[in-house]
Amino acid sequence: MNQVKQNPPAAVPVMDAEAIRRALRRIAHEIIERNPQLEKVVLAGIPSRGVELARRIAGFIREIGKIDIETGVIDVAMHRDDVGTRPELPMVRASKLPLPLEERTVIIVDDVFYTGRTVRAAMDAINSFGRPARVQLAVLIDRGHRELPIRPDYIGKNLPTASREQIQVRLQETDKAADAVWLEKQ
C-alpha cells in the first residue's frame, strides 16, 4: 500500500507523457493512411490500459481526420489458454463491440505486446461476436519474445528487452499517476 506511485529501484524511464502522446498521434496517422474506409474501423481496447489507449487514439483520429470512429472493449479473460494454472483470478469484464462486425476492421489496442497470447485470446473473443473483414493490432510498446506467429500493424515504440525485465506502463486515467513507461530490471 505504501509503495503507491513510487518508482521501483533499478527502473529506467523509457517514455514520458510527451513521448506517449507523440507515439499515439503517429499511430493515429498510420491508421488513417492504411484504412481508406475509416468509418468501418473499430478500436477495441484490451482492459484496462488498452481501453484508455484506444480512447486516446480515437481522439487523435478525430482531430486529424475529422471523423468519429467507434471504440470498444474486448475482454480476453474468458479466452485465455492458461485457465487452471494461476492461483488467483483477476476480474473478468464484459466485452463491448459495435455489432454486427461483418465488413468492419477491428483494431485491437493494448499497452505492451509480449508473448502474443493475449492477442490470440482477443482474436478468439472477437470471432465469437462475428466475422470482421479484417483485424489489425496497435500496441504502445513491442518488447519482443513472441511465442506465437503474430505481429503488430502499429507500434508506438520498439523496445528490445531481456525476458526477466519488466515493462511498467502507467496512464493518468487508469493508474491515477502521470503517464510514463519504465523498464524494470530484476
Partner 1 sequence: MQCGWKNNEPQMTARWTRKDLLGLRDLSADEINFVLETADAFKQVGTREIKKVPALRGKTLVNFFVEPSTRTRTSFELAAFRLSADVINISATASSLTKGETLKDTARNLEALHADILVLRHSSAGAPQFLADRLKASVINAGDGAHEHPTQALLDLYTIRERRGKIAGLRVAIIGDILFSRVARSNIFGLLKLGAQVTLVGPSTLVPREFEKLGVEVSYKIDDVLPKADVVNLLRIQHERQRREYFPGLGEYIRLFGLTKERAKHLKPDCLIMHPGPINRGVEIDSDVADGLQSVILDQVTNGLAVRMAVLYLCGGIAT
Interaction between residue 186 and partner 1 (CB under 8 A): no
Residue 105 corresponds to which cell in the numbers above?
Answer: 476492421
Q: Do the Cβ atoms of 180 and 170 come closer than 8 Å?
A: yes
Considering only residues 48 through 107, tell me which ones interact with partner 1, judged by CB under 8 A.
Answer: 48, 75, 77-80, 83-95
Angle subtended by helix axes 17-34 and 49-65, to nearest 10:
60
For partner 1, which is the closer residue by CB, 30 or 175?
175
For the bound state, the minimum distance from the C-beta of residue 17 to partner 1, rounded and expressed in Å, comes to: 15
Expressed in angstroms, the distance from the first to the final Cα of the chain is 21
Interaction between residue 113 and partner 1 (CB under 8 A): no
Which segment (24-32, 119-127, 148-156, 157-165) binds partner 1 by CB under 8 A?
A: 119-127
For partner 1, which is the closer residue by CB, 33 or 85?
85
Q: Do the Cβ atoms of 43 and 58 come closer than 8 Å?
A: yes
Q: Radius of gyration over alpha carbons of the chain, in Å? A: 16
Of the residues 47, 50, 132, 152, which one makes contact with partner 1 according to CB under 8 A: 47
Task: Report the Cα 153 to chain-centroid distance in Å.
Answer: 12
Residue 72 corresponds to which cell in the numbers above?
Answer: 470498444
- The pattern of x and - marking residues 127 through 166 that bind partner 1 according to CB under 8 A reads xxxx------------------------------------
For the bound state, the minimum distance from the C-beta of residue 178 to partner 1, rounded and expressed in Å, comes to: 10
For partner 1, which is the closer residue by CB, 61 or 123?
123
20: nearest Cα among 170, 165, 131: 170
